C-alpha cells in the first residue's frame, strides 16, 4: 500500500498502535490542557525551521557538521539563567573546536526547551516496597517517589510549553545580546575544573580565531554581521504525540533566498487552502521545536510515531540501534521522506562500541542502495550505558570515544559522510560518566550525580571529546595532529 499525505492529518496517528502511551485518569483535564496548547503561539517559526533544513542539507552533502547535545531528561527546574548559559556556552566552545578540526561550518542543535518526555523500559516500578508509575519526564509526572507525584498530570503539558518558552526566550535573548560573540570566545567560560592541557589548546584556537577576525577587519571585510552571533536550534524527542499535535500548525511555507525549500511533497497541494498560484503553499509544521526525533523504542513502521512524523515539514531524526534491519531502514526512509529531500532525515545511530561494526556497514549500504541522502549522526551514548556493581548507571568515556571513532572510520571506508554527533551532556561539573582526562572513577560517581535519567558528559569531558573528534578529522585529512596546534 502506498502511503500518501492525503491520508495524513496531525491526528491520524491516533488510529495506529502506540508505544510508550501515557494513560491519564483525568480525561477532562487532558482535553482542557490540549485546548489551551492549541491556542498558544508557535514556539519556533517556519523561517527558522527552513534555515535549519537548509543547513542540514549541507551536512548531508558533506559540507557541514552537526553538533547536537544536551540533557537526557530536561527538568522544569533547569529553566534558570545559569544552567541555560552553561549549556549553550559549552555547545559554542565545542562547536568552535569542531569548526577548527573538521574545517567546516558547524550546525548547533541543543536538546533543550522541550526535552522533557522520556521513554521507559517499564511503565511501573517498585520503590521502597511500593509499586508506582515510573518517572516519565517532567511534562508527564513528578520525580518524587510517591504514587501521588507519579500520577500523570495533564496540567504538566501546559507547564511544559511555558518552561520551553521561557528557556527559548532566554536563549534567543542571550544570543542576540552577544553571548555567542566570536570576538570574545574566552568569555564563554572554561569551567572551574578544566584540565590545563585542554584549556591551553582551547586558548590557542581562540587566538587563531581572533587573529582571523582582526585580519578580516584590517582588510576591510565586514565582520559585524555573521560572526557576532550564531544560531542555536532546539530539539527534543517527539514522544508525547498529544502535545506535539496540539502545537502542529498548517503554516505558510517560508521562502529562503535562492532555494525552493519545502514544496517538494507530491501531495503538497492537498495541504494548501487554495490551489491558485497566487496563494503561497502551506504545510504542517511541528512548532514545539525546530527539530524532533523518533526514539529507538517508538520507530515501528506502522506505529503512531512514524505516522505523525511522516506528515511534518520539520527536519527529523530517527534513532537506529542494533534491532533495526536494513530492509526496515529503507522502508522507514521511504515512509517519512518519499520525495528524497536531502538532509530532511538525520539517522542517529546508537549501537554501542562493541556492536557498531556489526550493524553500521549494512545500514550504510542499505541507504546507499536508494536515492536517500540523510544526515548520518553518531550517538555514542545510548548503546554504551552500563550499571556499576553498586547499581549506578554510567558510561565510559573510552567507549563513547571508541564508538565515535569507529563510526568515522566505517563511514569513510564506505564512501559515506559522518556528519555529526549527538551527545548527552551538561554544562555542570557532574560526575556521571567515568573516564576522560580528569580520570573520574566509579568510586567518584557519587560526588555529583544529578541526572534524572541517563548519565551525561560533564563540561570537561564534553570539551575533551570535541578535541579528540576534531583531531580524528584532522588526522583523516592528513593534516597536523591536534596536539601540535
Judged by CB under 6 A, does residue 378 bind ligand PEP? no
Residue closest to ligand PEP when measured from CB atoms: 295
Candidates 87, 156, 163, 319; binder of ligand PEP (CB under 6 A) is 319
Judged by CB under 5 A, does residue 37 bind Co ion? no
Judged by CB under 6 A, does residue 344 bind ligand PEP? no
Q: Nearer Cβ to ligand PEP, position 383 or 471?
A: 383
Q: Tell me the window of 274-282, 295-303, 370-378, 388-396 that interacts with ligand PEP (CB under 6 A).
A: 295-303
Residue 359 to residue 363: CA distance in whole angstroms: 6
Other CB atoms within a 10 A radius of the CB of residue 259 amount to: 12
Judged by CB under 6 A, does residue 281 bind ligand PEP? no
Q: Tell me the window of 120-128, 290-298, 365-373, 459-467 that interacts with ligand PEP (CB under 6 A).
A: 290-298
**448 known ligand binder:** no
22 binds, among Co ion, ligand PEP, none (CB under 5 to 8 A by kind): none
Secondary structure E strands in 322-390: 345-349, 375-378, 385-387
CB of 143 to ligand PEP, least distance (A): 16
Residue appearing with cell numbers 530536561: 74
Cα distances from 157 to residues 171, 231, 237, 298, in angstroms, run 21, 27, 15, 20
420 binds, among ligand PEP, Co ion, none (CB under 5 to 8 A by kind): none
Sign of CA dihedral 351, 404, 291, 284: negative
CA end-to-end span of the chain: 56
CB of 119 to Co ion, least distance (A): 9
Residue 111 to residue 78: CA distance in whole angstroms: 12
Judged by CB under 5 A, does residue 454 bind Co ion? yes
Q: Which DSSP helix (H) or strand (E) runs through 125?
A: strand 124-127
Judged by CB under 6 A, does residue 72 bind ligand PEP? yes
375 binds, among ligand PEP, Co ion, none (CB under 5 to 8 A by kind): none
Q: Tell me the window of 37-45, 245-253, 281-289, 294-302 that interacts with ligand PEP (CB under 6 A).
A: 294-302
Q: Which DSSP helix (H) or strand (E) runs through 319?
A: strand 316-320
β-pair type (291-294, 316-320)? parallel
Contacts of 158 (CB under 8 A, 6+ apart): 33, 36, 37
CB of 111 to Co ion, least distance (A): 9
Task: Name which of 362, 346, 356 is nearest 408 in CA terms.
Answer: 356
Give the annotated binding-site residues for Mn(2+).
72, 382, 424, 454
Residues found near Co ion in the complex (CB under 5 A): 72, 454
Amino acid at each position: 500500500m502506498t502511503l500518501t499525505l492525503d491520508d495524513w492529518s496531525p491526528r491520524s496517528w491516533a488510529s495506529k498502535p502506540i508505544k510508550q502511551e501515557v494513560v491519564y485518569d483525568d480525561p477532562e483535564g487532558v482535553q482542557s490542557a490540549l485546548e489551551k496548547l492549541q491556542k498558544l503561539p508557535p514556539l519556533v517559526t517556519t523561517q527558522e525551521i527552513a534555515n535549519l533544513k537548509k543547513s542540514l542539507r549541507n551536512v548531508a552533502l558533506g559540507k557541514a557538521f552537526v553538533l547536537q547535545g544536551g540533557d537526557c531528561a530536561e527538568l522544569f527546574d533547569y529553566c534558570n539563567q545559569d544552567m541555560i548559559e552553561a549549556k549553550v556556552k559549552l555547545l559554542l566552545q565545542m562547536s568552535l573546536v569542531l569548526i577548527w578540526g573538521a574545517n567546516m561550518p558547524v550546525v548547533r542543535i541543543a536538546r533543550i526547551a522541550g526535552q522533557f518526555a522520556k521513554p521507559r523500559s517499564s511503565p511501573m516500578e517498585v520503590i521502597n516496597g511500593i509499586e508506582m508509575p515510573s518517572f516519565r519526564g517532567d511534562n508527564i509526572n513528578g520525580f518524587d517517589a510517591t504514587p501521588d507525584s507519579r500520577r500523570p498530570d495533564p496540567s504538566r503539558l501546559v507547564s511544559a510549553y511555558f518552561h520551553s518558552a521561557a528557556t527559548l526566550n532566554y536563549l534567543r535573548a542571550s544570543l542576540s545580546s552577544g553571548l555567542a560573540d566570536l570576538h570574545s570566545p574566552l568569555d564563554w567560560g572554561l569551567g572551574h575544573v578544566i584540565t590545563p592541557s585542554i584549556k591551553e589548546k582551547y586558548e590557542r584556537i581562540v587566538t587563531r580565531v581572533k587573529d582571523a577576525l582582526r585580519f578580516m577587519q584590517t582588510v576591510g571585510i565586514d565582520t559585524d554581521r555573521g560572526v557576532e552571533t550564531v544560531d542555536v536550534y532546539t530539539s527534543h524527542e517527539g514522544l508525547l504525540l498529544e502535545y506535539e499535535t496540539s502545537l502542529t500548525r498548517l503554516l505558510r511555507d517560508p521562502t529562503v533566498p535562492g532555494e525552493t525549500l519545502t514544496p517538494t511533497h507530491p501531495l503538497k497541494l492537498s495541504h494548501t487552502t487554495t490551489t491558485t498560484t497566487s496563494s503561497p503553499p502551506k504545510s504542517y509544521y511541528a512548532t514545539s521545536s525546530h527539530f524532533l526525533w523518533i526514539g529507538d523504542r517508538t520507530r515501528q513502521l506502522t506505529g503512531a510515531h512514524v505516522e505523525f512524523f511522516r506528515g511534518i515539514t520539520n527536519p527529523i531524526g530517527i534513532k537506529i540501534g542494533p534491532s533495526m534491519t536494513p530492509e526496515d531502514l529503507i522502508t522507514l526512509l521511504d515512509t517519512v521522506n518519499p520525495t528524497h529531500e536531502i538532509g530532511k532525515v538525520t539517522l542517529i545511530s546508537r549501537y554501542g562500541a562493541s556492536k557498531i561494526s556489526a550493524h553500521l556497514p549494512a545500514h550504510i549500504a542499505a541507504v546507499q542502495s536508494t536515492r536517500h541522502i540523510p544526515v548520518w549522526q553518531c550517538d555514542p551514548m545510548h548503546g554504551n550505558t552500563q550499571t556499576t556493581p553498586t547499581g549506578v548507571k554510567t558510561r565510559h568515556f573510552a567507549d563513547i570515544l571508541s564508538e565515535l571513532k569507529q563510526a568515522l572510520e566505517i563511514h569513510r571506508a564506505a564512501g559515506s559522510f559522518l556528519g555529526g554527533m549527538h551527545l548527552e551532556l551538561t554544562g555542570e561539573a557532574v560526575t556521571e560518566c567515568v573516564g576522560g582526562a580528569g580520570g573520574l572513577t566509579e568510586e567518584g560517581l557519587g560526588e555529583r550525580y544529578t541526572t534524572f535519567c541517563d548519565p551525561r558528559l560533564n563540561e570537561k569531558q564534553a570539551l575533551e571529546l570535541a578535541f579528540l573528534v576534531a583531531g580524528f578529522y584532522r588526522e583523516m585529512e592528513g593534516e597536523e595532529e591536534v596536539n601540535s596546534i
